[in-house]
Amino acid sequence: MLLKCTQTWVLGNLLGPMANWTALLAFLPTLITTVHAAGAGGPEGVTPLNQNWLFGGEYTHGSEDSTFDDTGFQEITIPHVVTPLGWNNFDSDSWSKIWIYRRHFDLPKHSRGNSVRTFLDFDGVLTITSPSINGHALPTHEGGYLPFTYEITDYVKPTGNVLGVIVDARWSYINPQGSPDGPSSIDFLEPGGINRDVALRTVPSSFISDVFAKPVNVLKSSREVVVEYTIDSAKAPGRINILSQLKDGNKVLSKVTQTNTIFESGNQTFALNISAPHVELWSPDSPKLYQVVTTLTVNGKVSHRFTRNIGFREAVFTVDGFFLNGNRFKIFGLNRHQSFPYIGMSAPKRLQRRDAEMLKELNNNMVRASHYPQSPYFLDRCDELGIMVWQEVPGWQFVGNETWQEHVLSDIREMIIRDRSRPSIIIWGVQINESPHAPVFYTKTKELARSLDGSRQSSGTSVFPQSLVDSVSEVFSFDDYRAGVDGNAYLQTPLTTVPYFVTECVGALVGPKFFRWIDNQHSQQVQSKLHAQVHDIAAGNNSYSGLLGWTGIDYDSLNGNIYKNVKRSGIIDSFRVYKPGASFYLTQGDPSTKARIEPAFYWDFGPVSPVTTLGQNATIWSNADTLEAYINGVHFGTLYPDTVNFPHTAHPPFYLDTTKIIASKLPELRLDGYVSKKKVTSRTFSGSTRGDSIKITLNDKELDADGIDTTLITFRAVDKYGNPRPYATGDVQVSVTGPGELISQLVSLDVTANPSVVLAGQTSTLTATLKNGAFSWTENGGVGGAAIRTIAGRPGTITVEVVHATLGQDSVKIKAIPSPGSLVARAGSPNLSNVELSLGPAVGWTVGSVESVSLDSVQAVSTAHASWTVSPEAAGIWYQPPVVTASFTIHNQAAQKPFTVPVYAPLTIEQARNNIGVSNDSNIAVGNFDGLKNTYSTQALSAAGLERGAQFNVGGVTFKWPNVPVGTRDNMLSLGQTILVNGTGKTLGFVGASTNSYNGGVGTIFYTDGSSSRFTLELGNYFNTQFLVNNVVVTTPYVNGATGQNHLKTGTLFYAGTPLAVGKTVLAVTLPLTNTIASVNPTVGLHIFSIAVV
Of 849 and 64, more confident: 64
CA distances for 722 relative to 607, 610, 633, 671, angstroms:
21, 19, 19, 15
Question: Which residue, 688, 723, 748, sits at the end of a domain?
Answer: 688
Please indicate, yes or no, whether residues 839 and 928 belong to a single structural domain of this protein: no
Closest CA to 123 of 196, 184, 61: 196
pLDDT score at 1: 32
pLDDT score at 14: 28
Per-residue confidence at 925, pLDDT binned at 50, 70, 90?
A: confident
- Whole-angstrom Cα distance, residue 842 to residue 903? 11
Counting Cα atoms < 13 Å in the Cβ hemisphere of 1081 gives 8
Q: Order across the sheet with 845-847: list the strands.
A: 747-754, 764-772, 863-872, 845-847
pLDDT score at 1014: 87
Point out which residues pair with 346 in neighbouring strands.
none
Long-range contacts of 1009-1012 (CB under 8 A, 24+ apart): 1009/1064, 1009/1065, 1010/754, 1010/755, 1010/756, 1011/1061, 1011/1064, 1012/756
Q: What is the mean pLDDT of the chain?
A: 90
The conformation of residue 111, written as its DSSP 8-state character, comes to G
Per-residue confidence at 194, pLDDT binned at 50, 70, 90?
A: very high
Please indicate, yes or no, whether residues 518 and 667 belong to a single structural domain of this protein: no
CATH number of the domain residue 151 falls in: 2.60.120.260
561-590 mean pLDDT: 96
277-285 mean pLDDT: 95
Residue 274 forms part of a structural domain: yes
Please indicate, yes or no, whether residues 578 and 604 belong to a single structural domain of this protein: no
pLDDT score at 1029: 60
- Whole-angstrom Cα distance, residue 1090 to residue 972? 9
User: Given the DSSP bridges, would you call strands 918-919 and 555-556 parallel, antiparallel or unpaired?
Assistant: unpaired
- Whole-angstrom Cα distance, residue 1027 to residue 316? 40
CATH number of the domain residue 724 falls in: 2.60.40.10
Closest CA to 569 of 558, 555, 583, 559: 555
Per-residue confidence at 40, pLDDT binned at 50, 70, 90?
A: low
Please indicate, yes or no, whether residues 286 and 342 belong to a single structural domain of this protein: no
Q: What is the pLDDT of residues 814-829, one digit of tens each?
A: 999 987 655 555 556 6
The conformation of residue 115, written as its DSSP 8-state character, comes to T
Please indicate, yes or no, whether residues 601 and 742 belong to a single structural domain of this protein: no
**Residue type at position 649:** T
Query: Which percentage of the chain shows pLDDT scores above 70?
Result: 93
Omega of the bond leading into 872 within 30 degrees of 0 (cis): no
Residue 924 forms part of a structural domain: yes
pLDDT score at 292: 97
pLDDT above 50 (res 30) = no
Q: Which of 44-53, 103-112, 891-900 has the lowest mean pLDDT?
A: 891-900
Residue 1 forms part of a structural domain: no
- Whole-angstrom Cα distance, residue 557 to residue 662? 42
Q: Which of 39-43, 186-190, 772-776 has the lowest mean pLDDT?
A: 39-43
Query: 3-state DSSP call for residue 856?
Result: strand
pLDDT score at 1083: 75
pLDDT above 60 (res 13) = no
Please indicate, yes or no, whether residues 431 and 559 belong to a single structural domain of this protein: yes
pLDDT above 50 (res 274) = yes
Q: Which of 12-16, 263-267, 407-411 has the lowest mean pLDDT?
A: 12-16
851-855 mean pLDDT: 79
Cα-flanking dihedrals φ and ψ of residue 404, to 5°?
-60, -40
Question: Which residue, 540, 565, 592, sits at the end of a domain?
Answer: 592
pLDDT above 90 (res 1038) = yes
pLDDT score at 944: 93
Please indicate, yes or no, whether residues 993 and 891 belong to a single structural domain of this protein: no
Residue 126 forms part of a structural domain: yes
Q: What is the pLDDT of residues 161-183, one digit of tens each?
A: 999 999 999 999 999 999 999 99
Is the Cα torsion angle 994, 530, 429, 439 positive or negative in sign? negative
pLDDT above 90 (res 996) = no
- Whole-angstrom Cα distance, residue 864 to residue 729? 20
197-212 mean pLDDT: 96
pLDDT above 90 (res 1078) = no
Please indicate, yes or no, whether residues 295 and 340 belong to a single structural domain of this protein: no
**Which structural domain range is residue 874 located in?**
693-900
Q: What is the pLDDT of residues 621-637, one digit of tens each?
A: 999 999 999 999 999 99
Please indicate, yes or no, whether residues 168 and 254 belong to a single structural domain of this protein: no
pLDDT above 70 (res 205) = yes
Per-residue confidence at 992, pLDDT binned at 50, 70, 90?
A: very high
CA distances for 424 relative to 145, 550, 831, angstroms:
19, 20, 44
CB 569 within 8 A of CB 507: yes
Please indicate, yes or no, whether residues 508 and 405 belong to a single structural domain of this protein: yes
- Whole-angstrom Cα distance, residue 991 to residue 447? 59
pLDDT score at 852: 75
- Whole-angstrom Cα distance, residue 141 to residue 402? 18
What is the total count of domains within the chain?
Answer: 6
pLDDT score at 997: 57
Please indicate, yes or no, whether residues 743 and 758 belong to a single structural domain of this protein: yes
Cα angle 802, 807, 813 (rounded to 5 degrees) comes to 30
Query: 3-state DSSP call for residue 245?
Result: strand
Residue 959 forms part of a structural domain: yes
- Whole-angstrom Cα distance, residue 555 to residue 565? 9
Query: Which percentage of the chain shows pLDDT scores above 90?
Result: 75
Please indicate, yes or no, whether residues 585 and 598 belong to a single structural domain of this protein: no
pLDDT score at 999: 66
Cα-flanking dihedrals φ and ψ of residue 577, to 5°?
-110, 130
Closest CA to 183 of 172, 193, 194: 172
CB 75 within 8 A of CB 54: yes
Residue 3 forms part of a structural domain: no
Question: Which residue, 846, 878, 900, sits at the end of a domain?
Answer: 900
Residue 2 forms part of a structural domain: no
User: Given the DSSP bridges, would you call strands 972-973 and 626-631 parallel, antiparallel or unpaired?
Assistant: unpaired
405-423 mean pLDDT: 97
Residue 199 forms part of a structural domain: yes
- Whole-angstrom Cα distance, residue 590 to residue 622? 10
Per-residue confidence at 955, pLDDT binned at 50, 70, 90?
A: confident
User: Given the DSSP bridges, would you call strands 457-462 and 475-479 parallel, antiparallel or unpaired?
Assistant: parallel
Cα-flanking dihedrals φ and ψ of residue 443, to 5°?
-65, -40
